[in-house]
Structure 1
Amino acid sequence: MWHLLEPLHAVLYYAPEAFDEAAALGYGVDERWPSYFAWRAAPLGAAGATRVASAFYSFDPAMVARYTPAAWDVAAPADVLAARLRAVDRTYRTLLGDDVIDGPELAEAAALARRAAGAAGAAGRPLAAANAEQAWPDAPHLVLWQAATILREHRGDGHLAALLAAGLDPVEALVSFAAVGAAPEATFASRGWSAEAWAAARDRLAARGLLGPDGAATEAGRALRDEVERRTDELAAGPWVALGPEATARLSDLLGGPWLAVIGSGLLPAENTLGIGKI
């Protein structure tokens, strides 16, 4: 379900329509980070760099500090939240078409996804809770996007708990993920860590027996990452248990078309830190 829903959320960070809306607010659009931090952090309110870095986890705090809290000097969080729904509306209409947007299958998918999102517990999950506090939009395609957002942040918050339990700090989390072949190391440079910070994290993981001399994960390193992913899945299961197997399977079927439209658009990067589009 994560593989199906994540692209529906993440297209916000890459779509031309979203950059248009960001530019209209006053954000720079020569790179994606000013709008990314604004779009994703806005549900937290006018949060500062420490709180955003804590919630986002894998970014170098110095990188976070370049964009927050300065984002709120450009536009208030409430204005950003309104603009991101406009961005999603325009993006979905471009990618899916009005016939799909207004069709019964998308409305059914939105209703099922909202039910699942409503069962996503918010305790100890700051980004899920912040998104769950937002008023639900009326249009089904926007309901689908908001539900996907709550569910992905619910999973993400649980993933951070699993990383903490595994003793992996933010940069170690990335180094260990690269070490099992999740993506090339260069892909993770987008998170802002210096070569020195990356090398120090590799040394710490090697000292724990999690990386070999070549930087690849050892058997113990792979086992630890497997445990992180198992625990992440376990912590993310609640909404789907609540929705039930038949309704979850139905939602999976209904999401196939929108998923293919987003993946087929080419907007999402082929190499990414999340494994989007790779099953």
Structure 2
Amino acid sequence: MWHLLEPLHALLYYAPEAFEEAAALGYGTGERWPSYFAWRAAPLGAAGPLRVASAFYSFSPAAVARYVPAAWATAEPADVLAARLRAVDRAYRAVLGEDAVAGPDPDPGLAEAAALARRAAEAASCAGRPLAAANAELPWPDSPHLVLWQAATVLREHRGDGHLAALLAAGLDPVEALVSFAAVGAAPEPVFASRGWSAAEWSAARDRLAARGLVDADGAATGAGRDLRAGIERRTDELAAAPWAALGPGEADRLADLLGGPWLAVIGSGLLPAENTLGIGKV
């Protein structure tokens, strides 16, 4: 379900329509980070860099501080949230098709998928999950395609918050989490440079992991390192399972079938990067 829903959420960070909305608010669009931090952190309110770095976890605090709290000097969180929905509306119309989203005969499968995804999202407990809770508190939009995006967002942040708990339980700090993930081949190391850690910080984290027997001298995961990452992924899935248990296997399978078309449209748009730190689009 994560593989199907994550691209539907992540389109916000790459669609040209989103950059246009960000520019209209006053954000720089020469890189995606000014709008990324605004879009993703806005549900938290005018949060400072410490709170945003805590919630996002894998970003260097120095990288976060380059964009927060400057994001809120550019636009108020409420204005960012309104623009966020406009961006998603426009991006979905472009990628999924105007007729499917809002034509005289819109795709009934999209409405059914939105209703099922919303039910799953509303079943997600937000205790101890700040980003999931912040998004779950937002009012639901009326249009099915926007409901689908918001449900995907609540569910991905719910899973992400649980993933951070699994990383903490495994004793991996933010940069160690990335180094250990790169060590199992999740993505080439240069892809993780977007998180803002210096070469010295990355090297020190690798040394700490090597001292624990989790990576070898070349930085590749040892058997213990692979086992640790596999355990983290299992625990993440377990912590993310409640919304799908509430939906039930039959309706979860139905939702998976309904999401196939939108997933292919988003992946096929070419807007999402082929290599990323999340594994978007990989099976």
TM-score by length of 1: 1.00
Unaligned runs of 5+ in 1: none
Write out aligned runs for 1:87-98 (5 A).
Answer: 87-98=87-98
Give the whole-Å Cα distance in 2 for the aligned partners of 1:218 and 1:104.
Answer: 49
Aligned to 2:55: 55
Give the residue type in structure 1 aligned to 2:53: A
Aligned to 1:191: 195
Instruction: Give the drift of 1:100.
Output: 1.8
Give the whole-Å Cα distance in 2 for the aligned partners of 1:140 and 1:166.
Answer: 39
Query: How many residues matched?
Result: 279
Aligned to 1:2: 2
Give the whole-Å Cα distance in 1 for the aligned partners of 2:81 and 2:93.
Answer: 19
Give the whole-Å Cα distance in 2 for the aligned partners of 1:219 and 1:88.
Answer: 42
Aligned to 2:69: 69
Give the residue type in structure 1 aligned to 2:31: E
Instruction: Give the drift of 1:98.
Output: 2.1
Give the whole-Å Cα distance in 1 for the aligned partners of 2:217 and 2:30.
Answer: 39
Give the whole-Å Cα distance in 2 for the aligned partners of 1:42 and 1:214.
Answer: 40
Instruction: Give the drift of 1:99.
Output: 2.4
Give the residue type in structure 2 aligned to 1:72: W
Give the residue type in structure 1 aligned to 2:239: L
Write out aligned runs for 1:151-166 (5 A).
Answer: 151-166=155-170
Write out aligned runs for 1:1-279 (5 A).
Answer: 1-101=1-101, 102-279=106-283
Give the whole-Å Cα distance in 2 for the aligned partners of 1:209 and 1:103.
Answer: 52
Instruction: Give the drift of 1:145.
Output: 0.1
Instruction: Give the drift of 1:68.
Output: 0.4
Give the residue type in structure 2 aligned to 1:100: A
Instruction: Give the drift of 1:74.
Output: 0.4
Instruction: Give the drift of 1:103.
Output: 1.7
The runs of 4+ residues in structure 1 deviating greater than 2 Å are none
Which deviations, in whole Å up to 9, do the C-alpha atoms of 1:24-69 show, x marking residues without a partner?
Answer: 0000000000000000000000000000000000000000001001
Give the residue type in structure 1 aligned to 2:250: E
